[in-house]
Amino acid sequence: MITRKQSLDLVLQRLGSLALELGKPALLNVDESTHLFGDAAHLDSIGLVTLIADLEQDIFNQFGKRVTLADEKAMSRLTSPFRRVGLLADYIVEVVNAK
Amino acid sequence: MSQAILTGTSRGLGRALALKLLECGWTVHGLARENSDINHPRFHSHAIDITHEPSVQSTIAKIGQSSQGIDLLINNAGSASMNALLLTPGSVAESLMRTNYLGAFYCLQAVGKSMVRQRKGLIINITTVAVPLALAGEAAYVASKAALDALTKVAATELLPHGIKVVGLGLGPIDTRLTRAVSQNKLAEINQRIKRPQGTTLDEATAFISEKINDPQLASGQIYYLGQVT
């Protein structure tokens, strides 16, 4: 079980470490409404791939569940769960708790 | 200690390559349908079907979890079928595509994610001189390996920014079960065309692959051939 707050914290923490690694200080000041991918995004495709791969590992380390965040279900949605920080946090709750 | 995942280790080139890597100090995780007969403290056998995506994902996730990370993936598992194009059953073409292309795709994707987390790694796809030579009688096999070569090039472009290199290593016929169905005349003709009239031994093939693994100048996206293909 993962709560919405835990999920959001996970995403924000990971973005914080990526901010330093990718040299994108803007990622240090993000909130639920921040655009991750798509128009006006903070991440390019390389950054997004890194974020997803790292988050899948974080989820396993902290919650013991192996999940795939970028699967057909995520890709076929009208609104991509990777568009904004809040949507990604929602999606993590949905995927982890369905396992 | 360096960790490698190698597919198709139950026999042929995969088995010889596993022994070579062990000799060079690697810890080797061998993926094959049947358990390997290799008995070594640094060899771990995983009996799985690489064309089954969920099995590949869970096996590779477990390996990544139990080790310090994965430094090297060699997509070696492959099958071949020699037949005239117009006499090749569709089911054979499909089966070759599943093993030679899709199996490698699943492994690359699963290991790639682990390597992205480490920000480094090397992925080698074993391919064949039959692609650039466009060998007659091997249409389904050549097409599946050409798909793998295309995957190598795109994967190299996408993964290089993450510190991961992807290359193809193309071999000529080696005396393994894969080439048993090919006539001696045909093998001699191929070996002549690639300027290796004596053919290629398993030792030569594993030495070539080992040399590329250790080459710091390896150019990502490149397909290197043992033999001349132009």
Q: Is the domain B3-225 a CATH 3.90.79.10 member?
A: no
User: What's this model's pTM, rounded to 2 decimal places?
Assistant: 0.90
Q: Which of B113, B118, B162 best probes binding to A when mutated, by most A CB atoms within 10 angstroms?
A: B113
The pLDDT-based confidence of B65 (bands split at 50, 70, 90) is: confident
Question: Which CA distances in Å does B53 have to A19, A66, B8, B106?
Answer: 33, 14, 16, 6
Minimum-distance CB partner of B117 among A54, A66, A68 = A54
Apex CA B208: angle with CA B12 and CA B102, to 5°? Answer: 55
> 3-class DSSP state for residue B101?
helix
Q: What ipTM was reported for this prediction?
A: 0.74
**For residue B69, what is the nearest residue in chain A, using CA coordinates?**
A57
Neighbours of A89 (CB within 10 A): 22
Contact status, residue A49 vs residue B114, Cβ threshold 8 Å: no
Distance separating alpha carbons of residues B127 and A27, to the nearest angstrom: 41
* Residues of chain B contacting residue A53, judged by C-beta atoms under 8 Å apart: 113-114, 116-117
Name the residue among B207, B209, B189 with its Cα closest to residue B197: B189
Domain spans of chain B, in order of start: 3-225
Is residue B205 pLDDT above 90, yes or no? yes
pLDDT > 70: percent of chain A: 97
**For residue B58, what is the nearest residue in chain A, using CA coordinates?**
A66
Which pLDDT belongs to residue B212? 98
Is residue B40 pLDDT above 80, yes or no? yes
